[in-house]
Amino acid sequence: MKRALALSALVLLAGCDAINPALRYQEAARQLRFSLDRVEPQVELAFPLEQSRLRLRLDVGVDNASDMRLRTRRVSGNLRLAAQGGDHALGAIGFPEGMDLAPKGRSTLHAEVVMTYADLKNAWGPITAAAVRRESATWSLAGEARFEVMGIEFGVPFRTSKSTGR
């Protein structure tokens, strides 16, 4: 009984952070702000058309406003393109390497993804309009950053987009 009373008093006086310091890291990770800084599409046409490809260079910026240094284990998400009056799923993109997020700093994830015509057949028209003719389009990425702190793994969801074209 004394032990339970002492533990309750400790929680009241010191707060939950004293018992589980990983909670501070989880709260800091929830404060991260993601931005899709660069989307550089390049259509590589080939004949027959089925051999064509889309090469995307992506930069995802991450602002860490907290005073905690964080390190992602991996970041992944689903890429979409809104163009020519439609919304098109382009596929999953992963940034498998971890990234160090300095306190009160900004970091950038870089990725290059190559997708085939077969993967993107339904969205090929809007993709070429956005990439080749530079028509208005909005690229969006919805995903999750995964962390492990003191043996506890958790994820933080994010959504970001970038408009391109005229």
Domains of the chain: 2-164 (2.60.40)
Burial (CB < 10 A; 0-12, 13-18, 19+), residue 18, is: exposed
Predicted local distance difference test score (pLDDT) of residue 95: 85
Residues 6+ apart with CB under 8 A from 76: 92, 93, 94, 95, 143, 144
pLDDT, average across residues 7-13: 47
Residue 151 has pLDDT above 90, yes or no: no
Give the Cα separation of 141 and 166 in Å (integer).
21
For 55-103, what is each residue's pLDDT tens digit?
999 999 999 999 999 999 999 999 999 999 999 999 999 887 788 999 9
The closest alpha carbon to 159, from 80, 83, 89, belongs to 80
Give the Cα separation of 131 and 110 in Å (integer).
19
> What's the chain's average pLDDT?
87
The closest alpha carbon to 139, from 74, 93, 75, belongs to 93
For 135-150, what is each residue's pLDDT tens digit?
999 999 999 999 988 8
Give the Cα separation of 133 and 155 in Å (integer).
38
Q: Note the helical H segments in the chain.
A: 2-14, 16-19, 22-30, 117-120, 124-131
* Buried/exposed 116-142: b ≥16 CB within 10 Å, e otherwise: ebeebeebbebbbbbbeeeeebbbbbe
pLDDT, average across residues 111-131: 89
Count of beta carbons in the 10 Å neighbourhood of residue 106? 14
Q: Count helices and strands (H / E) in the chain.
A: 5, 8
pTM: 0.82
Burial (CB < 10 A; 0-12, 13-18, 19+), residue 8, is: exposed
Question: For 30-34, 44-48, 138-142, which range has the lowest pLDDT when averaged over its residues?
Answer: 44-48
